[in-house]
Amino acid sequence: MSESIDHSLSTNNDEALMDEDEVNKFTATLDEFTPAIPENVTKFYMRQCGLETDDDRVVKLLSVSVQKFMSDIINDCHQLNKLRQKSSNRPTAAETSTAATTSMANAQPSTVEAAATTAEQSTNAAGNKKPVVTTNQTLTLHDLTHVLDEYGINVKKTFYYT
């Protein structure tokens, strides 16, 4: 079988797809890398799909490939979540000007001064530092479904959850 792989790599229009040095460097790098998905888990799911191999390099390569795929999906979900948060938190120009004029017209001088001192106190008790903003984000099924749809994976919710 390795002969057919070597043959297919070298006989593509008399040009090698990868140099032998590049392949050796890649396998050395692959041997040093520890994937986030354990090889035992990868072997289990390979057996579930009917794939069996004794070559640990194939298992490790598949583990790294799955890790990269999952990383891309999670990164896309994170970017989508950030875009959604920015678009939902941004008020329109008309809303801002209307709210500002209404609050200033209805506010008494003592209320404005009290609001200013409250805002100063809420920044940080230790000094003039900005308040600490927590960035806890939740991966929602809606975001995940949208991103997986871009990758060609169709996810349907069960009737119970809809």
Number of domain units in the chain: 1
Give residue 70's domain range: 33-90+137-161
Kindly report, residue by residue over 69-94, the tens digit of the pLDDT: 999 999 999 999 999 888 887 665 55
**Is 8 a domain residue?**
no
**Is 62 a domain residue?**
yes
28 close to 57: Cβ distance less than 8 angstroms: no
Kindly report, residue by residue over 33-68, the tens digit of the pLDDT: 999 999 999 999 999 999 999 999 999 999 999 999
**Is 72 a domain residue?**
yes
Which CATH number do you get for residue 76?
Answer: 1.10.20.10
Whole-model pTM: value is: 0.59
Kindly report, residue by residue over 18-42, the tens digit of the pLDDT: 888 898 898 899 889 999 999 999 9
Alpha-carbon gap, residue 58 to 160, rounded angstroms: 40
**Is 16 a domain residue?**
no
Alpha-carbon gap, residue 27 to 23, rounded angstroms: 6
**Is 11 a domain residue?**
no
